[in-house]
């Protein structure tokens, strides 16, 4: 029975093209959270720490599911290896962007300036401009954290923020190794 399941014709996902449509659905729970944040800001603020931790657990589990799905889909693809490699790279990029955007939205929802302290000597006009663009600031913090660039300008101020940074850094570090593993695995199994 397992052999039949593993055959491409019997699988639920018969084409790797569906992955590019399905993966952004990971953001749907976050969209609901944004709406709840807008409708019930007081309740959201009261439960901010718990919701932040739930977001972290969710994205970590979702990412492992997305990467596992990528290995499953592409390792059994009947396409030529170069096309499969391009699809893997694009899927890898999409997973990376989704992760960075996810953390940025979470940081923004929970007030990036409450979670992080700017450890820099900006002139007042520059600091004001940064505070007016909290989502861009959140994207910056998320991108430098995920890529492990870690500029050091933004210091987490709360325990949940520290946990979020730890989880994002771990995902960023693991991402490179996972990408290489997916490419090797897909190449080894291209003829099977």
Q: Tens of pLDDT along the chain (192 residues)?
A: 445 444 444 455 556 667 677 778 888 889 999 999 999 999 999 998 899 999 989 988 887 777 666 666 666 555 444 566 667 777 888 889 999 999 999 999 999 999 999 888 878 778 887 888 899 999 999 999 998 887 678 899 999 999 999 999 999 998 888 878 877 776 676 555
Residues 6 or more apart in contact with residue 168 via CB below 8 angstroms: 99, 103, 142, 145, 146
Under CATH, which number does the domain 26-188 receive? 1.10.287
Query: The whole model's pTM is what?
Result: 0.68
Would you kindly state where each structural domain of the chain is located, as residue ranges?
Answer: 26-188
Measured CA to CA, the distance from residue 57 to residue 85 in angstroms comes to: 30
């Amino acid at each position: 029975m397992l052999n039949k399941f593993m055959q491409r014709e019997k699988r639920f996902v018969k084409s790797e093209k569906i992955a590019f449509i399905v993966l952004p659905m990971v953001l749907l729970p976050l969209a609901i959270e944004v709406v709840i944040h807008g409708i019930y800001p007081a309740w959201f603020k009261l439960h901010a720490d718990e919701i932040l931790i739930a977001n972290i657990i969710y994205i970590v589990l979702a990412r492992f599911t997305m990467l596992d799905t990528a290995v499953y889909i592409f390792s059994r693809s009947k396409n030529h290896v170069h096309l499969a490699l391009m699809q893997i790279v694009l899927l890898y990029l999409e997973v990376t962007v989704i992760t960075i955007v996810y953390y940025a939205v979470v940081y923004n929802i929970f007030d990036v300036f409450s979670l992080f302290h700017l450890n820099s000597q900006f002139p007042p006009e520059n600091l004001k401009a940064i505070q007016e663009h909290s989502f861009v600031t959140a994207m910056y913090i998320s991108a430098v954290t995920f890529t492990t660039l870690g500029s050091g300008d933004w210091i987490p101020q709360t325990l949940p923020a520290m946990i979020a940074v730890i989880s994002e850094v771990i995902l960023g570090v693991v991402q490179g190794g996972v990408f290489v593993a997916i490419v090797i695995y897909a190449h080894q199994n291209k003829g099977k």
